Protein backbone atom coordinates (compact mmCIF):
# COMPACT_ATOMS: atom_id res chain seq x y z
CA UNK A 1 0.00 0.00 0.00
CA UNK A 2 2.87 2.36 0.68
CA UNK A 3 4.05 2.30 -2.93
CA UNK A 4 0.55 3.10 -4.30
CA UNK A 5 0.16 5.92 -1.79
CA UNK A 6 3.58 7.31 -2.75
CA UNK A 7 2.69 7.14 -6.47
CA UNK A 8 -0.49 9.10 -5.87
CA UNK A 9 1.42 11.76 -3.91
CA UNK A 10 4.03 11.96 -6.67
CA UNK A 11 1.33 12.56 -9.29
CA UNK A 12 -0.40 15.19 -7.12
CA UNK A 13 2.87 17.01 -6.46
CA UNK A 14 3.71 17.10 -10.15
CA UNK A 15 6.70 14.79 -10.00
CA UNK A 16 4.97 12.98 -12.86
CA UNK A 17 5.85 15.92 -15.13
CA UNK A 18 9.45 16.53 -14.09
CA UNK A 19 10.86 13.06 -13.51
CA UNK A 20 13.54 11.45 -15.71
CA UNK A 21 11.01 9.79 -18.00
CA UNK A 22 8.83 12.93 -18.17
CA UNK A 23 9.23 13.16 -21.95
CA UNK A 24 7.24 9.93 -22.35
CA UNK A 25 4.61 11.29 -19.98
CA UNK A 26 4.34 14.59 -21.86
CA UNK A 27 3.87 12.79 -25.17
CA UNK A 28 1.01 10.78 -23.68
CA UNK A 29 -0.53 13.87 -22.08
CA UNK A 30 -0.34 15.85 -25.33
CA UNK A 31 -1.86 12.94 -27.23
CA UNK A 32 -4.71 12.64 -24.71
CA UNK A 33 -5.35 16.40 -24.82
CA UNK A 34 -5.50 16.34 -28.62
CA UNK A 35 -7.95 13.42 -28.48
CA UNK A 36 -10.08 15.28 -25.94
CA UNK A 37 -10.13 18.42 -28.07
CA UNK A 38 -11.11 16.36 -31.09
CA UNK A 39 -13.91 14.65 -29.14
CA UNK A 40 -15.22 18.00 -27.87
CA UNK A 41 -15.24 19.48 -31.37
CA UNK A 42 -17.09 16.42 -32.75
CA UNK A 43 -19.59 16.65 -29.91
CA UNK A 44 -20.33 20.30 -30.71
CA UNK A 45 -20.63 19.48 -34.40
CA UNK A 46 -23.06 16.66 -33.63
CA UNK A 47 -25.14 18.94 -31.40
CA UNK A 48 -25.39 21.50 -34.21
CA UNK A 49 -26.53 18.81 -36.64
CA UNK A 50 -29.14 17.50 -34.20
CA UNK A 51 -30.53 21.02 -33.75
CA UNK A 52 -30.60 21.53 -37.52
CA UNK A 53 -32.45 18.21 -37.99
CA UNK A 54 -35.02 19.21 -35.36
CA UNK A 55 -35.52 22.57 -37.08
CA UNK A 56 -35.96 20.90 -40.48
CA UNK A 57 -38.43 18.37 -39.05
CA UNK A 58 -40.49 21.24 -37.64
CA UNK A 59 -40.43 22.96 -41.02
CA UNK A 60 -41.51 19.70 -42.71
CA UNK A 61 -44.49 19.37 -40.36
CA UNK A 62 -45.52 22.98 -41.08
CA UNK A 63 -45.22 22.48 -44.85
CA UNK A 64 -47.23 19.24 -44.69
CA UNK A 65 -49.99 21.03 -42.77
CA UNK A 66 -49.96 23.85 -45.34
CA UNK A 67 -50.10 21.29 -48.16
CA UNK A 68 -53.12 19.52 -46.65
CA UNK A 69 -54.89 22.85 -46.13
CA UNK A 70 -54.21 23.97 -49.71
CA UNK A 71 -55.26 20.60 -51.13
CA UNK A 72 -58.54 20.81 -49.20
CA UNK A 73 -59.21 24.30 -50.58
CA UNK A 74 -58.47 23.19 -54.14
CA UNK A 75 -60.69 20.13 -53.77
CA UNK A 76 -63.54 22.37 -52.63
CA UNK A 77 -62.97 24.72 -55.57
CA UNK A 78 -63.13 21.80 -58.01
CA UNK A 79 -66.60 20.73 -56.85
CA UNK A 80 -69.31 21.12 -59.48
CA UNK A 81 -71.49 23.18 -57.14
CA UNK A 82 -68.68 25.69 -56.54
CA UNK A 83 -67.97 25.98 -60.26
CA UNK A 84 -71.68 26.54 -60.97
CA UNK A 85 -71.79 29.35 -58.39
CA UNK A 86 -68.84 31.07 -60.04
CA UNK A 87 -70.11 30.77 -63.62
CA UNK A 88 -73.64 31.96 -62.67
CA UNK A 89 -72.04 35.26 -61.69
CA UNK A 90 -70.70 35.51 -65.26
CA UNK A 91 -74.09 34.75 -66.76
CA UNK A 92 -73.58 31.10 -67.67
CA UNK A 93 -76.34 28.72 -66.70
CA UNK A 94 -76.44 24.93 -66.79
CA UNK A 95 -77.89 23.39 -69.91
CA UNK A 96 -81.56 22.38 -69.76
CA UNK A 97 -81.00 19.59 -72.27
CA UNK A 98 -78.67 16.87 -71.10
CA UNK A 99 -75.75 16.05 -73.37
CA UNK A 100 -76.09 13.19 -75.83
CA UNK A 101 -73.53 10.45 -76.32
CA UNK A 102 -72.09 10.13 -79.75
CA UNK A 103 -70.85 6.67 -80.65
CA UNK A 104 -68.42 6.24 -83.48
CA UNK A 105 -68.51 2.83 -85.09
CA UNK A 106 -65.49 2.06 -87.16
CA UNK A 107 -66.19 0.18 -90.37
CA UNK A 108 -63.72 -2.28 -91.70
CA UNK A 109 -62.59 -1.54 -95.23
CA UNK A 110 -61.96 -4.60 -97.29
Q: How confident is the model at residue 78 (pLDDT cuts 50, 70, 90)?
A: confident
Q: Which range marks the domain in which residue 48 is found?
A: 2-89
On whether residue 94 sits in a domain, the answer given is: no
On whether residue 66 sits in a domain, the answer given is: yes
Please state the domain count of the chain: 1
On whether residue 48 sits in a domain, the answer given is: yes
Question: How far is residue 49 CA from its own chain's centroid?
Answer: 9
Closest to 10 measured CA to CA, from 97, 91, 22: 22
This model's pTM is above 0.75: no
Q: How confident is the model at residue 69 (pLDDT cuts 50, 70, 90)?
A: very high
- Helical segments of 1-110, H only: 2-13, 15-18, 22-78, 80-89
On whether residue 65 sits in a domain, the answer given is: yes
Amino acid sequence: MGKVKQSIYDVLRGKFFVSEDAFKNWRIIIFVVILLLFMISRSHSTDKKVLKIAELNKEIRELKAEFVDTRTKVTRLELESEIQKKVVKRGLLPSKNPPKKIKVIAQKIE
